[in-house]
Amino acid sequence: MKLLVINPNISGDVTRLIESEARRSIRPGTELTMATAPFGVAYIETRAEAQIGGYAAMQVAAEHYAEHDAVVVAAFGDPGLAALREILPIPVVGMTESALVSACQRGNRFSVIAISQRIQAWYRETIAAYGFSERLASIRALDEPLAHIGRVQEDQGQRLIALAERAVQDDGADVLILAGAPLAGLARSVAARLPVPALDGVTCALRQAQAMVDLGASAPTAGSFAPPPEKPCQGLPEALARLVGRRTAEPVSTVG
Amino acid sequence: MKLLVINPNISGDVTRLIESEARRSIRPGTELTMATAPFGVAYIETRAEAQIGGYAAMQVAAEHYAEHDAVVVAAFGDPGLAALREILPIPVVGMTESALVSACQRGNRFSVIAISQRIQAWYRETIAAYGFSERLASIRALDEPLAHIGRVQEDQGQRLIALAERAVQDDGADVLILAGAPLAGLARSVAARLPVPALDGVTCALRQAQAMVDLGASAPTAGSFAPPPEKPCQGLPEALARLVGRRTAEPVSTVG
Amino acid sequence: MKLLVINPNISGDVTRLIESEARRSIRPGTELTMATAPFGVAYIETRAEAQIGGYAAMQVAAEHYAEHDAVVVAAFGDPGLAALREILPIPVVGMTESALVSACQRGNRFSVIAISQRIQAWYRETIAAYGFSERLASIRALDEPLAHIGRVQEDQGQRLIALAERAVQDDGADVLILAGAPLAGLARSVAARLPVPALDGVTCALRQAQAMVDLGASAPTAGSFAPPPEKPCQGLPEALARLVGRRTAEPVSTVG
Amino acid sequence: MKLLVINPNISGDVTRLIESEARRSIRPGTELTMATAPFGVAYIETRAEAQIGGYAAMQVAAEHYAEHDAVVVAAFGDPGLAALREILPIPVVGMTESALVSACQRGNRFSVIAISQRIQAWYRETIAAYGFSERLASIRALDEPLAHIGRVQEDQGQRLIALAERAVQDDGADVLILAGAPLAGLARSVAARLPVPALDGVTCALRQAQAMVDLGASAPTAGSFAPPPEKPCQGLPEALARLVGRRTAEPVSTVG
Amino acid sequence: MKLLVINPNISGDVTRLIESEARRSIRPGTELTMATAPFGVAYIETRAEAQIGGYAAMQVAAEHYAEHDAVVVAAFGDPGLAALREILPIPVVGMTESALVSACQRGNRFSVIAISQRIQAWYRETIAAYGFSERLASIRALDEPLAHIGRVQEDQGQRLIALAERAVQDDGADVLILAGAPLAGLARSVAARLPVPALDGVTCALRQAQAMVDLGASAPTAGSFAPPPEKPCQGLPEALARLVGRRTAEPVSTVG
Amino acid sequence: MKLLVINPNISGDVTRLIESEARRSIRPGTELTMATAPFGVAYIETRAEAQIGGYAAMQVAAEHYAEHDAVVVAAFGDPGLAALREILPIPVVGMTESALVSACQRGNRFSVIAISQRIQAWYRETIAAYGFSERLASIRALDEPLAHIGRVQEDQGQRLIALAERAVQDDGADVLILAGAPLAGLARSVAARLPVPALDGVTCALRQAQAMVDLGASAPTAGSFAPPPEKPCQGLPEALARLVGRRTAEPVSTVG
C-alpha cells in the first residue's frame, strides 16, 4: 500500500516531524510519499490560513496522488479534506477527523491540547463541522508565542502535560488528543504519564488511512462525493484542472 | 460608501448579472467595484470548487480592498467568507449569510431554490455551519444539466417558480431564497407570483453590506477575527502576503 | 421611509434614550414615530413582563402602523415580535434579533452584556428560540439593583466595560452586544475602548429595519406569517380586532 | 385539592368541553374552578393569538388563583404558561407540556394530531421551545376550515382517526397526542381503535397538575422563576399589578 | 392501584429507604410490592453496572409484574427502563425520567446533585438520551468515597446541601434534583433550606406512576414499543422468555 | 494480534457468517477467537433484546478476554459496548460505531440498510447516542418477516439492493451501511452494483479493532472509562464479578 502524506504548510521541519511519526505508524509493506506545500504559511492557526493551505493541498494532491492508495492531510484542522475527497478516486483522511473517530472508540468525551490560543476557534469550528461538538470536553492551549514551530515539544513539553492533566481532572476528558502536526510523537513519549488514552493526530491519520484502504470500498459515482460535474475552468495547474474542470479542450464560452 | 463586489468564479457573464442587480440594491452615494476571479471554475457547485473560489476571493480582496468600506462575496455558499473576515479590517458579507439573516427577519423557516442537484450538499453544509439548519424547510433544485450558466433564468424560469411553490405548499417555507448568483434578479421579477417573501442573494448581500458599514463598529484587535498572527509565508501574491504572512523581511527560518 | 419605533415598556425616559440613538441610526429621508406602551412595567426582565409588553406592543402597533414602512420593537428580548410579524403587512424587526444577525456578520461567537442578573434567563431563552445558542459565548450581567433605569449607563458604565472585557478575554467573544434599551448609545461611546466590535441593539434594529424595507419583499399570503385566519373575537381594542379577529360584524356564535 | 382551569380563549363552548373531560380526570376530593378569558379570540392558531391569550390568562389567574393549589392553562400551545409560573406561588401546568411529558413516559417518539393546518407552526415552535423537537415524529392536521370550533370531533372524527393512523404507520409515532382543547375527550372515545397510546391534553394536564401538587415542592425564592423584581407599573388590572409591579404606592418616577 | 417497585441493585438497605419514601408518595388505595435485584452490585455508578442492573430489573419485572398496574424502576439512571417498556403491557416509569419531567414543570433548568464523582458521566448520558441536555444546568457530586451506601444522607447531608446551593447560585438552576435512591427522602427533609423546588427521584417516580395509571392509555400493538417480535431464545428465565422469546414450543432451528 | 469476536446472540449460523467475513478482514498475524452468547435471542431487534444481549456479551467477554488484544461486539446496535469499554483493559469496538466512523471518512451523510422494520428504532437511538444523527440520511428496512435469519442475503438480496439505491437517489446518502451481522459479506458481493461506497459492519469492526490495537494507547486509570469503583456484588459469574465487584472477599454488609 502506498500513501501520500501532505503537509499543507510550508514548514520542512514539520514535514520531517510528521514523517518520523508516520513511519512508526505504518505496517510492513506500506510506503510513504511525503509532500510539503509549495506556498502558504509556516503553520495554520486561522480560517484564512486554512483556506490557503487547503488550496495548496489540492494542488499537491492533484499532482502526486496517482499510484497511491490513499492521501493523508497532515495538519490538524484538515485543510482541504472535503475538497480532496470529492476530486480524488482514493480514500483521503485528515488528522483531526482521524483523531476524533479514534477518540470516540476509546471513550465518550475528549479534550484537545493545542499549541496556541488563536488556533482554538478554528479547531472548535472544525470539530463542530464534523458533528462532534457534544463530545468535546474542552480545548486547552498554550498561551505563549511559539519561538520555533519545529521545537514546540522540547520548549513546552511540561506545560502541555499540565494542560492535559487539567483536561482530565477539571473538564472530564476520557481521551486526550495532542493536536497539531508540530506535536507529532508527543503522545507516545508522554503516554505513560497521562491517566487516559492520549492520541497523536499523525498516528491516528496513518492508522485510519490504512484501515480505509483495507476496507476496499469503491469510489462513488453518485452522491455529493462523486467527481464534480465537468465545467469550464481557467488558471488552474494542469493536474488540478483535469480533476475539477472540463476535461475536454472546448473553449470556455460563458466567460465574457 | 464604496463596496468591493467579488465574483469568486471566472464567469464574466455572471459578474455582469450580479452587477446589474447590485446596482439596483444600492443607495445614492454608494459606489461599486466589480471583480471577477482570475482563476477557478465557471460556477461553484462543490466543496472542491468552493475551496478554489475562496482562495481566489482572498487574492482579489487582498489586492483591491483598499479604499473600500466593505467587501461582498458574490457567490451563494460564501466561498472564503470567514477567511476574508479575518484578514480584512472592513466588514465582509456573503450572499448566503445575508440571505439567511434576512429570511430570519421575515419568517421562521425558509427554503432555498437552487440551480442544480449537486449544489445542494454544499449549500446544506454552509447553512449548517452558520447554525441555521433548524430553520431550513428544504432545498429544492433543478435536476437538469445547465446549458448556459448565464441564461438559467430564461431557460428554467417556470421550473424555478414551480419548485418555489412546492417549497411553500409542501415544505412549510415562510420565506424563499432564490439562491446563486446566476439567479440574481429572479426574485424581483417573479415576486408577485409567489405567496411568500422571495429573497435574492445579491440584493440581500448589498443591503447587509450597507447596513454593516452604517453600523460603524470597529475592527477587532482581539478574538478569533483579529488579524492572524504574523508568521513566515512563501509563494503568496504580495498583497495577500502582507495580510497573512510575516510583515517583516526576515528569512523564513523554519522551512527546511 | 417611515418607521414606527415601539417601546413595549412604560418608561418615557427610556423611550427618549431610544429615540436619541435611533435618530443617529437613520438615513436622510427616514422618519421616526416613537411610541411608548400605555400599560405594563418600567423595564422587562422576566417572561411575565415580556408577555405583558408583547401584548402592549400589539395594541400600539395595531393603532399606529398605518402609513409606516416598518415597525421596530425597541426592547431587547423582542416582546411580541413574532406576533407582530403575523398581523402586520410590513416588516417588523426587534432589537435582539437585529443584534444577533449583525453580530453573526462580524464574527462567530458573541457575548451579551446585560443590566441585571434576573434578565439573563429571558435573554438566553430568546436567543435559543431564534436558534443562536451555539454562537452565544456568554451573557454577563450587572449584579446590583438598578437605582434608576434611565441612568444605568452613567451609574454603571465602568462595570459594564469590565464585563465586556471579561467576555472577550475569558469567554471567547468575537463580538459584543450591549443589550437592552437602557444601554442605547453605550456601544458608540465606549467602542474605542473595547477590543472587538461592540453592537447597540437600537442601532442594529434601525439599520436592519431600513435594510428590510429596502429589500422590498412582499408580504406573505401563505405560510405561517400570512394574516391569521378570521375568527370571532371580543374585548380587543378596535384596531387590534381588525387585525386578528373576524373582520365582519357577524355575531360570535361559538361563545356560550 | 383545588385547581383553577383557565381557557385562554373566549369560547364558552370549549370551556364546557374542557370541564367535561377535566371532571373525568380528577380524583375524589379534587375541586375545579373553571374560567374563560374575558377577551381574546375563539381559538388560538397563531403566535399573535397566543400572545393575546397568554395575557388574558395572566389576568384571569391573578384574579382567581388565591385559595387554589395549582393552575391549569387549558389550551394546547400553553399560552402564558412560563409567565404564570413566574408570578404565581403555586404549580402551573399546560396542556402541551403535560401531554409531552406523558408521551415521553409511554414511548420515544410522538405525533400530534391538530385541528388546522395553520396551527402547526405554533405547535412546532412550542414543542421546540420545550426541547422536545427530537422526539416529535410529526404533526398532522385537518386541512379544512372549521365550521364550528365546539363540534370539531363530531364533524371531523373520522378524518382525525385517519391522520392518527398515518402518524403511526408512516411517521413512526409510538404515542399519539390528540391536541387542542376542542378535541378534549376524543382520545378516550377512539382509544380502542388506535394501535398506540392516545393522549388527551386536558386529561394529561389535570393528571400532571394533581401530581405536581402531590409532590409538594416549595415555591422558588431564587432562580429565574422566583417572583419578578418589584418595579413601577401602570395600567394593569389591580390583581396583576400586585404580582408583577411595585407592591408599594410609590409614584412611578421613571415614566416621563 | 398496585405498583411494583424494583430496586435494580442488591442493596436491601436501599430498598428499605426507597420503600419508606415510596409509602409517603402514594394515595390511599395504592399498594406497593417491593423487589430487590437477585444479582448485581450494591449501587450503580457506571454504564457496566447499569447494563447488569437493567437485565436484573427485566428478570424481576417479568416474574412479578402480573396483577400490577405499573412498574417503577427505582434507581436513578433508569437501568432497563426502555427494555421494560417494550416487554410489559403496563406503564413503566423510572426515577430519572420522572424527576426530569417533574423538574421541567417547575422551572426551565435544573441541576442534579449526585452521590459520587464517577456517577456523573452515566447520569449525563442518561439525561442526554432522553433529550434533556439543554435544560441541565449542572451535575454536582460528592467527591469522597462512600463509607456506607445506606447512610449517605446522615454522613454527607451538609455537603449535599452546599452542592445544591452552589447549583442555584452559580449554575442557574431553577429546580434541584437530589438524585439516587440512597438520597430518597432528603429533598423532603431539606426542602425548607433550599431556595428552589427540590425534587426526590423516588417521590417523582411514584407520583408519575400513579398519573400514568390514571391516564388509562392502552398498551401499544404497533410502533417501537409494541411487544418484540417472537423469535427463538434460550437460557432465559421462563418468565422473561415468555415476554421476549418465541411463545410457541417450536425448536430453535437457526442455532447451529 | 489476537481478537475476541463476540456474537451477543444465540445464533450459531450468524456466528459462522460473522467469522467468514471477519477472516477476510484481518491481516496476516491477526488471530480470531469466536464466541456466541450462551443465552439470549436469535437476533436483536429491540431495546429489550439489546439489554439481554449486552449482558450476555459482558459475561462472554469477562470469561474470554484474557490474552486478547481487543474485543469486537459483533451485532449492529453494539449491545453492551460502553459497558465492556469500562470493565476491560483492552480496546473494544462495535459494528455500528465502526461502520459510522468509517462512513464519516468516506462521505458526509450515510444511510443504513436494515433487515426489519422493527429494528429501525433501536438503530436510530444507537446512532443518536453516538451523536451521528445529523449525518444519518435515512434508515431503510425490509418489511417482511424473516424466514431464516441465516439466509437473509439469499432470500432478500434484490430487495436490499433496491433499498440501497433509493437511499442514494432519494435520501442523499454518500455512503451505505449494510447493517446487521446477518448481512455480513453482502457489501462485498454487491459493491460493484452500488453507486457509492458500501460498508459492511463486520469488516469495519475488524479493521477498526486492528487500528485501535495498532494505536497502542494505554488503558485509562481516570475518567469515566477507568475500571468501575470496587463495591459489593452478588450473583455474578465469577469472571464478571472480578471486573465489576469488590475484588476482596469481604462480606457484602449493605445487603439486608
Q: In this model, does residue B215 exceed pLDDT 80?
A: yes
Q: What percent of chain B has pLDDT over 70?
A: 96
Q: How far is D231 from chain F (nearest CA, A)?
A: 45
On whether any CB of chain A is under 8 Å from the CB of B153, the answer is no
Class of the CATH domain delimited by D2-95+207-244: alpha beta
**What does the DSSP 8-state code read for residue F132?**
-
- Partners of F174 on chain B (C-beta within 8 Å) are 121
Check if D2-95+207-244 and D97-200 are the same fold. yes
**Rounded-to-integer distance, Cα B187 and Cα B181, Å:** 12
Subunit partners of chain A (3 or more CB pairs within 8 A): B, C, E, F
**How much is the average pLDDT of C191-215?**
96
Give chain C's radius of gyration (CA, Å). 19
Q: Measuring CA to CA, which residue among B134, B125, F98 is closest to residue A82? A: B125
Classify C89 as helix, strand or coil.
coil
What number is the average pLDDT over the span B110-138? Answer: 97
A256 has pLDDT over 60: no
Task: Judge A/D contact: 3 or more CB pairs < 8 A.
Answer: no
- Given a contact cutoff of 8 angstroms between Cβ atoms, the answer to whether E136 and E109 are in contact is yes
Closest in A107, A130, A210 to F220, CB measured: A107
Amino acid at E153: Q
**What ipTM did this prediction achieve?**
0.94
Residues F55-67 as b or e (16 or more Cβ within 10 Å = b): bbbbbbbbeebee
Query: What's A2-96+207-244's CATH class?
Result: alpha beta
CA distance F109 to chain B (A): 9
What is the mean predicted confidence (pLDDT) over B134-149? Answer: 89
Is it true that domain B97-201 has CATH number 3.40.50.2000?
Answer: no
Tell me how far CA of residue F119 lies from CA of C250, F42, F78, in angstroms: 55, 13, 13
Residue B171 has pLDDT above 90, yes or no: yes
The pLDDT of E5-22, averaged and rounded, is: 96
- Under 8 Å between Cβ of D231 and C41: yes
Contact F32, F98 (CB under 8 A): no
Return d(Cα C116, Cα A90) in angstroms, integer.
57
Beta strands F233-234 and E40-41 are antiparallel
pLDDT digits (tens, 9 = 90+) for F25-52: 999 999 999 999 999 999 999 999 999 9
By mean pLDDT, which of B136-150, B216-230, E191-205, F190-204 is the weakest?
B136-150
Q: What is the average pLDDT across A4-26? A: 96
Are A71 and A90 within 8 A, CB to CB? yes
Tell me the per-residue pLDDT of C100-137, one tens digit each, with 9 for 90 and over.
999 999 999 999 999 999 999 999 999 999 999 999 99
Span C172-186, pLDDT tens digits: 999 999 998 889 899
* Reported confidence tier of residue E155, pLDDT bands at 50, 70, 90: confident
Helix ranges, F191-247 (H): 201-215, 238-244
Domain F2-96+207-229 -> CATH class: alpha beta
CATH number of the E97-200 domain: 3.40.50.12500
Are there at least 3 beta-carbon pairs closer than 8 Å between B and E?
A: no
Q: What is the CATH number of domain A108-200?
A: 3.40.50.12500
Domain ranges of chain D: 2-95+207-244, 97-200
Among all residues of chain A, which has the CA nearest to that of E117?
A: A172
- Determine whether the interchain pair C172/A121 forms a contact, defined as Cβ–Cβ distance below 8 Å: yes
pLDDT > 90 in chain D, percent: 86
- The chain F residue lying nearest A111, using CA atoms, is F223
Tens digit of each residue's pLDDT (9 = 90 or more) over D92-133: 999 999 999 999 999 999 999 999 999 999 999 999 999 999
Collapsed DSSP state (helix, strand, coil) of residue E232 = coil
- Contact residues on chain F for A187, CB-CB shorter than 8 A: 217
Q: What angle do CA C133, C134, C137 make, to 5 degrees?
A: 85
- Strand arrangement, sheet containing D198-200: D136-141, D110-114, D175-178, D198-200
B39:A87 CB<8 A:
no
- Do B209 and B91 meet the contact criterion of CB atoms below 8 Å apart? yes
Whole-number pLDDT of residue E246:
63
* Dihedral over Cα of B21, B25, B28, B33: its sign: negative
E200 forms bridges with which residues in the sheet? E178
Predicted pLDDT of residue B248: 42
State the nearest Cα–Cα gap between E222 and chain D, in angstroms. 5
Q: Which CATH number fits domain F98-200: 1.10.3720.10, 3.40.120.10, 1.10.10.10, 3.40.50.12500?
A: 3.40.50.12500
Q: What mean pLDDT is predicted for residues E26-31?
A: 97
pLDDT digits (tens, 9 = 90+) for E118-136: 999 999 999 999 999 999 9
User: Whole-angstrom Cα distance, residue E96 to residue E81?
Assistant: 10
Q: Which of residues 38-67 of D touch C (CB under 8 A)?
A: 38-43, 45-52, 54-55, 58
Which residues of chain D make contact with F125, given a CB cutoff of 8 A? 108
Q: Which residue has the cell 479534506?
A: A81
Chains in contact with C, counting 3 or more C-beta pairs less than 8 Å apart as contact: A, B, D, E
Eight-state DSSP code of residue A227: P
- If you measure CA to CA, which chain C residue comes closest to A121? C172
What is residue C246's predicted lDDT score, i.e. its pLDDT? 63
Task: Determine, for residues A172 and E128 on separate chains, whether the beta-carbon distance falls below 8 Å.
Answer: no
| Mean pLDDT, residues F109-114 | 97
pLDDT band (50, 70, 90) for residue A246: low
Chain-chain contact of F108 with B120 (C-beta, under 8 angstroms) = no
In this prediction, residue B116 carries a pLDDT of 93
Q: Does residue D89 sit at the C interface (CB-CB below 8 Å)? A: no
Specify the pLDDT at position B251.
41
Q: Is the pLDDT of residue E214 over 90?
A: yes
Interface check C227 vs B, CB under 8 A = no
Inform me whether the C-beta atom of residue B68 falls under 8 Å from chain C C-beta atoms.
Answer: no
Contact list in F for residue A221 (CB cut-off 8 A) is 195-196
Using an 8 Å CB-CB cutoff, list chain B residues near D120. Answer: 172
**Partners of residue B194 in chain C, C-beta under 8 Å:** 218
Residues 203-222 of B with CB under 8 A from A: none
What is the C-alpha to C-alpha distance for residues E145 and E45, in angstroms, rounded to an integer? Answer: 12
How much is the average pLDDT of E182-197? 92
Chain E positions in Cβ-Cβ contact with residue F254 (cut-off 8 Å): 11-14, 42, 148-150
**Nearest partner of C232 among C222, C244, C218, judged by Cα:** C244
Is the pLDDT at C23 greater than 70, yes or no?
yes
d(CA A56, CA A37): 6
Chain B nearest-CA distance from F244, in A, is 42
**Considering chain F, what is the average pLDDT of its residues?**
93
Task: Give the H or E element holding residue C176.
Answer: strand C175-178
A134-185 pLDDT per residue, tens: 999 999 999 987 777 778 888 888 999 999 999 999 999 999 999 988 898 9
Q: Is the pLDDT of residue A248 over 70?
A: no
> Taking 50 as the threshold, does the pLDDT of residue B157 lie above it?
yes
Tell me whether strands B40-41 and A233-234 are parallel, antiparallel or unpaired.
antiparallel
Report pLDDT for E154.
83
Cβ separation of F47 and E252 shorter than 8 Å?
no
* Residue in E with minimal Cα distance to A109: E121
| Interface C:E, Cβ pairs < 8 A | 8
Say if residues F85 and F225 touch (Cβ distance below 8 Å). Answer: yes
Task: Say how far residue F205 (Cα) sits from the centre of its chain.
Answer: 7
Highest CATH level, class, for B2-94+207-244: alpha beta
- C125 part of contact set with chain E, CB < 8 Å: yes
Query: To the nearest whole number, what is the mean pLDDT of chain A?
Result: 93
Alpha helices (H) along chain D:
12-24, 47-64, 81-87, 95-104, 119-129, 152-171, 186-190, 201-215, 238-244
